[in-house]
Amino acid sequence: VSSSGAVAITYLLSGYTIPLMTMPPIFTKIAWFLPNTHFIVPLRDMALLGSTFAHEAHHMVWLIGFSALMFSIATILFLAQRIKHSEQSFPGAKKLFGQVGKNV
Amino acid sequence: MNKLIKILKEEQNNLLMLIFVVVIFVLFLCYVWRNPYVNHIPFRVLDKDNSAVSNTIISSLAANEGLSVCYYAGSESELEQAIRDKKVNAGIIIPEDYAVNISRKLSPQILVVSDGTNINLGGNAVAAASSVLSTVNAGLTVKMLEGNGMAAAEAQTALGTFSYVERILYEPQGGNIPRNMYTIVLLITMQIYVTRFIVPAMVDRREMFAMAEKKEYPVLVLDFAVRIAIYIATSVVVNFFALCLAGKLYALPLRGEIWIFTVSTLAFMLNVTAFGLVCGAITKNTAHFFQVNAMFTLTFMFTSGIVYPYHMMPGFLVTIIKLLSPFAAMSVGLKAVNLKGLGWAAAQPYIIDSLFYTSFWIILGALLYARSIRLLKEKRQTINTLARGL
């Protein structure tokens, strides 16, 4: 449900089909934080308006930044889960992980 | 009765989710789309004439609520660049000697250009500009007739010899809420029902069926059928409640009879159940199903006949869509029931189509599920035989 919902809601709020100017002003700001706004809208502009790389570069930078942020968060959460799991299976593992980290 | 209460307790989380997500989603989207008009569309003017007539046109455009005349361009290329850079969505070019050519009766032409990449904005800008221009044009024509010696009243009558009145029925404002909400509420209900209940339940129950004796099958099937009935009943009520709420708060029209709405929504939920049975029968890992389902969410919406009408699609594609999509049979019908207030006679073909869809896929789903249980049983027996051999 969450992934289907995320796909649908970010699509609807990106301004791709329904213009942002018809929505309450807060959604113009929200749209800026949605990856779809920086992907499908520039994609359409490149295809139909013939926008150049320079025109859409800021969207690409945003997407790279967003990917890096999400990847970092996912990695941190994954590692935290691993450490928690190890701690449950092997008490003292957290300390050991910390030790290994210090040595590295 | 105790059994029913037990089932309700087991399913309460999913049922609550169904109720709250549908209602919240509908209210949220209604809030986002509450404005039915696209107003103050950025509009640029290129006035090469700079006459009294062109000034009248520009001031009339500026007075129109649909447009926001925010920039004045110096040349055609500047206007084109402004549209390309998304600074404006449309513009107007008034040619040189426009007023002079009018007085010479040379029919000079004004050019309205718009950004067609978003038809909502481009189309509305052109419509607003056209209405302004036709009003100005009528005024100029009257003045020209008067200038040629015709009496003022006579000139106005001459202009109004041919006239027409536009009347858009059912959805005169053309807002996004009445256009989409009847289908979106179905889509959300379907997503929750399929992903939270029917497919995971079928995957989990496969093991149960494989381990059970044949005499236990009726009890298991009945238990599953009762749960399906509870979900379908809840979905029908929640759909109605959510639409009523949207009607009360955001003036979403609900013109149909309640019984036609109930039967139509029931028919839709049976379609979704049949679709879910087939998906559940062929799914081994629910995570894979969720991924595929997420990819098809928008496809279902786009092929529902609401976003793009069926009569504009190729015939073979419509047949395929109607055969595969649980949306195809009822989405257009349900919108017509709610928006136009269709009677039984008009709703009947949609309901019959729906029953055909349900019958076909429910039988196929049951057969596929029975086969998957038999295969699982055979696999278990083989493993047991091998284990005994060891």
Q: B350 by DSSP, 3-state: which? A: helix
Average pLDDT over all residues of chain B: 89
Query: With contacts defined as CB-CB under 8 Å, which chain B residues touch A13?
Result: 32
Average of per-residue pLDDT across B221-232? 94
Task: State residue B244's pLDDT score.
Answer: 95
Strands B90-94 and B41-47: parallel
Q: Which residues pair with B91 in a beta bridge?
A: B44, B113
| Chain-chain contact of A17 with B121 (C-beta, under 8 angstroms) | no
pLDDT-derived band at B282 (thresholds 50, 70, 90) equals very high
Please tell me if residue A61 touches chain B, with a CB cutoff of 8 Å.
no
CA neighbor of B92 nearest in space, from B66, B108, B73: B73
More confident residue, A7 or B226: B226
- Cβ-defined contact of A11 to B298 (cutoff 8 Å): yes
What's the confidence (pLDDT) of residue A104?
Answer: 45
Contacts for B298-301 with beta carbons within 8 Å, 24 or more apart?
B298/A7, B298/A8, B298/A11, B300/B187, B300/B190, B300/B325, B300/B326, B300/B327, B301/A8, B301/B183, B301/B184, B301/B187, B301/B327
Greater model confidence, B362 or B390: B362
Of residues A1, A44, A48, nearest to B192 (C-beta): A1
pLDDT for A92 equals 63
**pLDDT tens digits for B105-132?**
888 899 999 988 888 888 889 999 999 9
Chain A hits for B294, CB-CB cut-off 8 Å, are 3-4, 7
* Contact between chains at A4 and B118 (C-beta distance less than 8 A): no
Q: List, for residues A1-48, the tens digit of each pLDDT value.
A: 566 677 778 888 888 888 888 888 899 899 999 998 999 888 988 888
Mean pLDDT confidence for B277-301: 88
Query: Does residue B103 register a pLDDT over 90?
Result: no
- What whole-number distance in Å separates Cα of residue B77 and Cα of residue B83? 10
Enumerate the residues of chain A whose CB falls inside 8 A of the CB of residue B192.
1
Q: What is the pLDDT of residue B22?
A: 94
Cβ neighbours of B293 in A, within 8 Å = 4
A28 close to B (CB below 8 A): no
> Are B116 and A21 within 8 A, CB to CB?
no
Residues B331-356 have a mean pLDDT of 90
Residue with the bigger pLDDT between B270 and B162: it is: B270
Alpha-carbon Rg for chain A in angstroms: 20
Q: Which pLDDT score, from 0 to 100, does residue B152 have?
A: 80
pLDDT (0 to 100) of residue A2: 62
| Least confident span in B30-34, B36-40, B277-281 | B36-40
Q: With beta carbons under 8 A apart, name residues in chain B contacting A45.
A: 86, 117
CA atoms within 13 A on the CB side of B75: 3
Q: Do B195 and A1 touch (CB under 8 A)?
A: yes
Q: Specify the amino acid at residue B206.
A: R
**Residue in A with minimal Cα distance to B38:** A22
Q: Using a CB-CB distance cutoff of 8 angstroms, which residues of chain A are in contact with residue B298?
A: 7-8, 11
Is the pLDDT score of B201 beyond 70?
yes
Q: Do A4 and B31 touch (CB under 8 A)?
A: no
What count of CB pairs under 8 Å joins A to B?
A: 70
CB spacing of A4 vs B21 below 8 angstroms: no
CB atoms within 10 A of CB A68: 10
pLDDT tens digits for A87-102? 777 666 556 556 555 5
Distance (Å) from the alpha carbon of A76 to chain B's nearest alpha carbon: 23
